[in-house]
Amino acid sequence: MLLRILEIIVPVFGVIAVGFVYGRLRAPDVREANALNITIFTPALIFYALTEEAGGRLPLGMAAFAAAIVVFGAGAVGLAWARLTKRRAAVYVPPLMFPNCGNLGLPLAHLAFGAEGLALMVVLMVVENTLQFTLGLWILGERMSPKRLATNPMILATVAGLVCMMAGWHAPDMIQPAIKMLGEVSIPLMLVALGVRLSAGAKGQWQAGLVGGLAAPIAGLVIALPFVWLVEPAPTLTALIIIFGVMPPAVLNYMLAEQYDVDPPQVAAIVAVGHVIALVTIPLTLGFVL
C-alpha cells in the first residue's frame, strides 16, 4: 500500500517541485501559460475525457451533485467559523470552498484511478470552477456575470463533451489525436505552474496562513465524509469525493483575491501553507480510500 501511495504522490509533487525550483531560480511570469491552459489545454482535456474515456457508465450526475454539496457545505462551515472567530469572510471562506481539484486533483485522480477517475474528477472540477466564477466572485464583491460564465472555455468544453457523450458522437479519427495531445499538456503544465506560484511564497504570513490552511481540509471532510456515508456512491466516486474534500485551496483563490484586492498576502499564505499541509493529508487520505 505504501508503494502504491508513493507511485501516486511522488510524480505529482515531484513535478510541482520542479516548478518550485524553477520559480525560485528564474521567477517567471506564468500568467500567459495559465491563460493557454485555461483556454486551450484544459478544455481539450475535458472534452476528450468526457467523449472518449467517460462513456455512459459513469455516475457523472452524482459527481456533479457531490461537488456542489461539498462546495456549498464547506462554504457554510467556513462562514460560521469566520463569524464565530470574527475573521473576514471574503478572505477565509473562498479558500475553504474551492479546493485545488485541477492542478492537484486531476493528476492524483488519473494516477490513482485511471481514465475513470480522471473523467469523474473533471466533472468535480468543472462544477467547482463554475461555482467559483459565480458565487466565489460574488463573495469577493463582484456581480455574477452570465456572459462570463457562458464564454468560459472549460464550461463550453464540458457542455460540448456531455452533448457528444450522450449522443454517442466522437471526434473524427483525424482530429482525435490532436485533441488528446492538447489535453495531455494540461496536467504537467498545471503542476509546473502551481510550483512556480508557490515559489513566490508569502513572507511574514506563514503563521496566519496556517489557520486557513488547516481549516480548508477540515471543512471539506466535515461535509464529504457524511455525504459518502449517507449516499453511498460508487466506490471510485466515493474515494474521489473524499479526496476532493481534503484538497488544499486552489491557487485561483489567490489570483482572484489579488485581482479584487481582498488581502492577497493573507490568501496567498493560506494557499501556500495549505499545499505544505497537503504533503501529509494527501498520502493519509490515499491510504484511507485505496
> In order of start, what are the domains of the chain with their CATH numbers?
2-20+31-187+207-289 (1.20.1530)
255: part of which helix (H) or strand (E)? helix 251-259
pLDDT in the model for residue 4: 82
pLDDT in the model for residue 54: 67
Biggest distance spanned by C-alpha atoms of the chain: 58
- For residue 289, the one-letter residue type is V
Q: pLDDT tens for residues 199-256?
A: 876 655 666 688 888 999 999 999 999 999 999 999 999 999 999 999 999 888 887 8
Least confident stretch, 54-58, 212-216, 263-267 = 54-58
Distance CA 136, CA 152 (A): 15
CB hemisphere CA count around 25 (13 angstroms)? 6
Q: Are 176 and 138 in contact (CB under 8 A)?
A: no
- Residue 278 in this model has a pLDDT that exceeds 60: yes
**Highest-confidence segment of 32-46, 63-77, 179-193:** 63-77
Distance CA 95, CA 78 (A): 9
Residue 68 pLDDT class (50, 70, 90 cuts): very high
Distance CA 187, CA 107 (A): 6
- Residue 27 in this model has a pLDDT that exceeds 90: no
Residue 52 pLDDT class (50, 70, 90 cuts): confident
Whole-structure pTM value: 0.87
